[in-house]
Structure 1
Amino acid sequence: MTPTLKDLLAAGADASPALSAPGREPISHGELRALIQRTLDTLNGLGIGRNDRVAIVLNNGPEMAACYMACASGVTSAPLNPAYRADEFEFYLSDLNAKALIVEQGSTSPAIEVAVKLGVRLIDLVVPEGAPAGAFTLVARDARVETPAAHPGYAEPDDVSMVLHTSGTTSRPKIVPLSQRNLAASATHIRNTLQFTAADCGLNIMPLFHIHGLIAGVLAPLAAGSQVYCTPGFNALKFFGWMDEAHPTWYTAVPTMHQAIVSRASKNTDIIARHPLRFLRSSSSSMPPQVIKELEAVFQAPLIESYGMTEATHQMASNPLPPAVRKPGTVGKAAGPEVAIMAEDGTLLPRGTGIENTGEIVIRGPNVTAGYENNPKANAEGFRDGWFRTGDQGVMDEDGFVSITGRLKEIINRGGEKVSPREVDEILMDHPGVAQVVCFGMPHAKLGEEVAAVVVLREGQQATERELQTFVGARAADYKVPKKILFMDEIPKGATGKLQRIGLAQKLGLG
C-alpha cells in the first residue's frame, strides 16, 4: 500500500496527459508533478509547511484539482464550497484555524473579506495566459517576509493532508482530519475496484470541495496514470458536448446527475455510440434500481454503485465490475476497509437479510479517520471496539453485499449534499417572527430528500413561507433553504415529548 500522495502520483508516464479541460491543452503527469513541487516550494517559502492549514476556495476545474493535490501533498488542504455565504466562511475559516486562503486572482468571493477580518493570509492563484489545463502560480497578496516553514517538503504518512467538515445532526459541524495514509489508501482502493489504467479518461462533473469528486473523481484515476477531464461543474445541457470532446471511458456522479443525464440521452445516442464507456459509477446517495436499468440500457455499460462517506475518505463498499456479479439496489461488498453489521449491544451480526440481521453498518481500515478533531464526545459515540459507526442501518447478505435499510442519523441527504437540520433550525430561530422550528427531510422524487420545516410563529407576528426562505437564503447556501415550510400552532413531538425529525414528513403527509 502506497502511504503518500507523492508515491501515488508517480504512476503516470511523464508525457501522458493528466488533467484536461474544455477547450484547453492538457497538462502531462510530468508537468503536474513539477507543478506540485513548485507549489510546495512557494508555500514553504511563505512559512506554510506540513500540517499547516490552507483553505481553498476555487471554482470547479483543472486548477482546483491541481491546487488541491499540491496542497494535500505537503500541507493540510481544506477545500471549501465556493457557494458559502460570509457567515459560513467565517465559521469554517475560524474553526479550521486556517493559516492561508487560496482564491483565484480577481475573485469576488465573500471569503476574502472574512479572511481579512480574521487575519488569514490571502494567496492568489494566477493562471498564465495560454497555460495548459491546471497550470498556475501562487502569489501572496502581502509582501511580508516569512521565516521559511518549520516542516517543509512532502507530507509524511501520518501528517494530516485534508480536513473536511461533516454535518452534525445535533451539534455544530465536526472536523474530520484525514491523513496522508488515509488519502493514499482510499485512492488505491478505488483504483483497484475500478481497475483504472493509463488508457482511461474520466469525465469529472463532481464538485471538488467534496470527498467524492476529490478522491474518486481525481486522485484515484491519476494514481493509475490515467487522465481526468475537469469540467466547470455539472451541467446536463453541456454533458454530451463534453463527452464528445473528452472521449471518456467512465464518469462518476450522484443519482440526481445521472437522472438528468439519462433524461437527455435519447437525443445524444450518436455521441454515446462514438465514445463507449467502460462503466458508470454512482455514489453519495442511493440510486433507484429503475434508473440503473435505464442508464445501463442507454450507455450499454455497467453502472457500479458504491457507498462512501467523509470519515472513510470516501469509498467503503462497491459493486464490482463485470464479469463479477453486481446486485442493483445494494451498495456492493466491502471495497477497501472491513465492513460489518453491529447490533445495539456491540456484537457483530451474522450475514443474512432478516430483521434479526439488521443493525448499524460499521467499518475499520487504513482509509478511516483516526477520529474527529477536538471532539471527545463525538469520538466516544462514533467509535466502538475499534469500529467506526456510520450511523446507517443495514444488512449484509450471504454473499457480502450490503443494503442500507434506513438512516440512524437525521442528516438530510439532498442529492448527495448533506444538510444539518440543526443548522437550519438555528438560522430560522434568528428571525424575529419565529418562536419554534424543526427542520427535517421530506421525500423528493429526484433528490431523494429535500429540506422542509415546521415553524411556530410568535404571538401577534406574521411571516410568509417566501419571506423565511429568503431569510435562510441570505445566510446559508441555496441547497440548505427549506423548500417547504409549514406553519403550525405547535411543533409535532414524539411520545416522550422529544422532537422527532425522522418520520415527521410521513406523519405530516409530505411526499
Structure 2
Amino acid sequence: MTTLSLATVLAESARRFPDKVAVIDAGARITYRELWAQTLAYAGGLRELGIQPGDTIAVMIPNVADFPRVYYAALAAGARVVPVSLLLNAEEVAYVLTDSGADLLVTHSAMLQVGAAAAQASGTKLVNVGPLPAELPNPPARLEEIAASVPPPRTYVTREAEDVAVILYTSGTTGKPKGALLTHLNLVMNAMVNVFDVHPLTGDDVVMGCLPLFHTFGQTVGMNATFRLGGTLVLLPRFSGDAAIELMLQENVTIFHGVPTMYIGLLEAATRAETLPKLKLCVSGGASLPVAVLERFAEAFGSHIWEGYGLSETSPTATTNQPSFGARPGTVGHPVWGVEVEIARPEYPERIEFVPDGELGEIVIRGHNVFAGYLNRPEATAEALVEGWFRTGDLGIRDAEGFISIVDRTKDLIIRGGFNVYPREVEEVLARHPAIQQVAVIGVPDGTHGEEICAVVVLEAAGSLTEPDLIEWARERLGKHKYPRQVRFAETLPMGPSMKVLKRELRKQYS
C-alpha cells in the first residue's frame, strides 16, 4: 500500500518554511507554521463533530484564509472534500450535498443563508466559520469554538494514493452536474508539475489568488501549487480589474493566474491605472484566450500570457505553452510531464482511433492527472474513460510540432447549411474589432439553413458599433458560411463558476 495525502502539500511547507508568509488575506499575513497549526486545530474540531476517515465534507467558503484552513483540515482528518460553487442557489447546493452524500457542510458567514437552507433541505449537518451577527436567531455551531475546546491531532491521517481526495462537480451543461472523483495522487502530481516542470518557480514568488478557490483552476494551480512551492498566496475574494491591479502593486505579486474574462477586465482597468504591476508569469486557462487579448495584454503590461488547457476531470492541467517547447499564440501548447494528449476520431465513441497530425478530432488524455470516474455514475464513467483514455468532448488539432489547438466544444459546433462552423474561429476574428470588448458566437435556429450564426457582443463604449457595420466588417474577413448574420449587443455575458461564458444561456435567450 502506497500512502499519500494532499494534506502533505501544506504540512511539508510548514516544516520546511515555517516563518514564510503562506497567505495574505485582507492585509493579514499568516505564516506556514500558523496556517498548519490552525488547520490541525480545525481537523480536531471536525473530529469532535464526528468526522471519520473516508467521510465527505462540503465546503462553501469564499477566497479568504478559512478556505485553505478548512480544505486542508478536512484532508488532515482523512475526509473527502466537496468544494461548492458560491454561485449556486440553495436548491442547487442541496443537490450537491445529497448527490455527494456529504456528512457535513462547512459554510462561511458570507454564505450562511444559502448554506443553511441547503443543509436543511438535504438533512446535512452544518457548521460555520467566520464571525456571526449577534442578533442571529438559532446560530449554527462555529468550527473555531469547537476546535478551541479540543486538542489538535499531532499530524494528518494518512490515505492511500488512489483514495479520493476531492469531488469536483462539473458545471452540468447537459443534465445534472456530476461529481468528478480526484485522487490524492492526481492532485499532488498536478500541483508538482505546475511549479517544477511547466514554469519552474521559486519560493520567493507571490501568487495572485483571485480565481475562485472552489474551482479546480484556482484550487490546484493557484492554492495547492503555491503551497507545494512554499510561495505566498494573496487572496482576493471578489475580482475586478481595478481591485486586482491595486492589490498586485501593493503586495508585489509576481504570478497571475486567470481566465480570459479576467485578462479582459485587467486590460479595461489598465486604461485608468497610473502604474501597472510587473508580472514574471501570467497563465490563462478555463476557456479559450483570444489571440487579440494576448497581444493587447503583452503591449499594455509587458508580460506574455502562457495559455494552457485542462478540465475538472484532469486535475486540471493537461497541456500548456511552456518554455521548454516555446509558445505559440492560439494554441494550448504541449502536454505536461507524465501526460499524453492525442486526437481521436469522434465518430467512434466506443474505441480510440487516432487521426494523423493536422486533422481535426476529439482530444483524448491519459496520465497521472486523469480522474477516477464520476461518483455513482458507472455509465457516464464508461463513456468518458475508454481504453485508458479520457474523452474530453473538445475538438482539437495537433500540428507537426506537437502543439495542440482547441477548436471548440463538440456541443458548441454550429452547422449552417450543412457546413461546420466553429464559434472560436469566428470569435478570434471579431475580437480584433477595436470597438469590441468581449464576444461570444452561438448558433440559433433558422428555417432555411438549420442554424444561423449569431454574435453576442459587449462593446468598449455603448453605441460605438451597429449591427450592419459589424456584419459587413466580419463579411470581409470571414468565409461566406462563417460570418455572423445576426448581432446582439449585451452589457455583460453570463458567466459560470469558472468565469466561462455560458453559451447555453445565450442560446436560450436569443433562440
Give the TM-score band, short-chain normalised. Answer: 0.7 to 0.9
> Shift of residue 218 of structure 1?
0.8
* Aligned residue in 2 for 1:69: 72
1:281 to 280, 283, 296: 283
Task: Give, in angstroms, the shift of residue 119 of structure 1.
Answer: 2.5
Instruction: Please give the alpha-carbon distance, in whole angstroms, between the structure 1 residues aligned to 2:213 and 2:305.
Output: 22
TM-score (ref. length: structure 2): 0.74
The answer on 1:27 being equivalent to 2:30 is yes
Give unpaired runs (5+ residues) of structure 1: 129-135, 416-420, 422-439, 448-471, 487-504
CA distance in 1 between counterparts of 2:143 and 2:56 reads 19
Identify the residue that residue 462 of structure 2 maps to in structure 1.
none
User: In the TM superposition, what whole-angstrom CA distance separates every residue of 1:291-313 from its partner, at most 9, and x where no partner exists?
Assistant: 10111122222211000100001
| Partner of residue 102, structure 2 | 98
Q: Return 161-170 or 227-236, whichever deviates more.
A: 161-170
For the residues of structure 1 that align with 2:295 and 2:74, how far apart are their CA atoms?
A: 40
Q: Is the 8 A contact 1:50 1:159 kept in 2?
A: no
Comparing 113-122 with 279-288, greater Cα deviation is found at 113-122
Deviates more, 1:226-235 or 1:343-352: 343-352
- Contact map agreement 1:254 1:284 (CA 8 A) in 2: yes
Contact 2:7 2:72 in 1 (8 A): no
Q: Secondary structure at the match of 1:84?
A: coil
Correspondence 1:121-160 to 2 at 5 A: 121-126=125-130, 137-139=143-145, 153-160=157-164
Letter of the 2:144 partner, please give it: L
Q: Is contact 1:253–1:281 with CA below 8 Å preserved after alignment?
A: yes
Aligned AA for 1:176? Answer: A
Residue 89 of structure 1, CA deviation: 1.6
Matched, 1:162 2:166: yes
Identity of aligned residues (%): 29
- Contact persistence 1:168–1:411 (CA under 8 A): no
Aligned match for 1:376, one of 375, 378, 391: 378
Structure 1 residue 329 and structure 2 residue 333: aligned?
Answer: no
Instruction: Note if 1:226 corresponds to 2:231.
Output: yes
2:31 and 2:374 map into 1 onto residues whose CA distance is 36
Distance in 2 (CA, whole Å) between partners of 1:176 and 1:446 is 33
> Which residue in the other structure is 1:453 paired with?
none
How many angstroms apart in 2 are the aligned matches of 1:77 and 1:212?
16
1:435 counterpart residue number: none
1:118 CA displacement: 2.8
One-letter identity of the residue aligned with 1:164: L
Taking a change above 3 Å as real, the CA distance of residues 106 and 221 of structure 1, as seen in their structure-2 partners, is closer
Distance between the aligned counterparts of 2:110 and 2:178, measured in 1?
31
Residue of 262, 265, 289 corresponding to 1:260? 265
C-alpha distance in structure 1 between counterparts of 2:410 and 2:507, whole Å: 23
Call closer, same or farther: CA 1:183–1:347 in 2, change over 3 Å: closer
Q: Which residue of 2 aligns with 1:5?
A: 6
> Distance between the aligned counterparts of 1:83 and 1:106, measured in 2?
12
Distance 1:153 1:45, change over 3 A: farther
C-alpha distance after superposition, 1:397-432 (max 9, x if no partner): 1221100122123599999xxxxx9xxxxxxxxxxx
Contact 2:385–2:391 under 8 Å retained in 1: yes
1:375-400 deviation per Cα after TM superposition (whole angstroms, max 9, x unaligned) = 12111211111101011011111221
SS at match of 1:256: helix
RMSD: 3.6
- Map of 1:491-502 to 2, 5 A cutoff? none
CA distance in 2, matches of 1:390, 1:446: 29
**More moved, 358-367 vs 341-350:** 341-350
1:494 aligned partner: none
CA distance in 1, matches of 2:99, 2:352: 36
1:386 partnered with 2:388: yes
Once residues 105 and 86 of structure 1 are traced to their aligned partners in structure 2, the CA distance between those partners, rounded to angstroms, is 15
Give the distance between the partners of 2:27 and 2:63, measured in 1 at CA: 15
Give the conservation status (yes or no) of the 8 Å contact 2:94–2:121.
no
Secondary structure of the residue that 2:117 maps to in structure 1?
helix
Question: Whole-Å Cα distance in 2 between the matches of residues 107 and 331 of structure 1?
Answer: 35
Residue in 1 aligned with 2:49?
Answer: 46
Amino acid at match of 2:7: K
Distance 1:109 1:360, change over 3 A: same
Contact 1:181 1:366 in 2 (8 A): yes
Displacement, 1:485? 5.3
Is contact 2:206-2:233 (8 Å) kept?
yes
2:245 — aligned with what? 240
Question: Are the aligned partners of 1:196 and 1:221 in contact in 2 as well (CA < 8 Å)?
Answer: no
CA distances 1:478-505 after superposition (whole Å, capped 9, x unpaired) = 987945756xxxxxxxxxxxxxxxxxx8
2:300 pairs with 1:294: no
In structure 2, what is the equivalent of residue 58 of structure 1? 61
Q: SS where residue 92 of structure 1 aligns?
A: helix
**Aligned-partner Cα distance in 2 for 1:156–1:18:** 27
Question: Counterpart amino acid of 2:182?
Answer: L
Q: Find the aligned partners of 2:500 and 2:270 in 1 and give their Cα distance.
A: 28
Contact 1:351–1:395, Cα closer than 8 Å, also in 2 = no
Distance across 1 between alignment mates of 2:363 and 2:299: 31
SS in 1 for 2:242: coil
Q: Distance in 1 between matches of 2:381 and 2:157?
A: 31
Cα distance change on mapping 1:441 and 1:64 into 2, 3 Å? farther
Find the counterpart in structure 1 of residue 367 from structure 2. 365
Distance, in Å, in 2 between the alignment partners of 1:444 and 1:62 is 37
Partner of residue 455, structure 1: none
Q: CA deviation at 1:124?
A: 1.7
Contact 1:352 1:397 in 2 (8 A): yes
For the structure 1 residues 402 and 200, does the alpha-carbon distance in structure 2 shift closer, same or farther, using more than 3 Å as the test? same
Letter in 1 for 2:96: Y
The alignment partner of 2:229 has SS state of coil
Are the counterparts in 2 of residues 2 and 8 from structure 1 also a CA contact under 8 Å?
Answer: no
Q: How far apart, CA to CA, are the structure 2 residues paired with 1:406 and 1:482?
A: 17
Conserved in 1, the CA contact under 8 Å of 2:355 and 2:361?
no
- Distance in 2, matches of 1:317 and 1:93, equals 32
Secondary structure at 2:332's aligned position in 1? coil
1:81 maps to 2:85: yes
Q: Per-residue deviation at 1:269? A: 5.0
Q: Which residue of 2 aligns with 1:463?
A: none
Aligned residues of 2:181 and 2:375 also touching (Cα < 8 A): yes
Contact 1:57 1:81 (8 Å CA) reproduced: yes
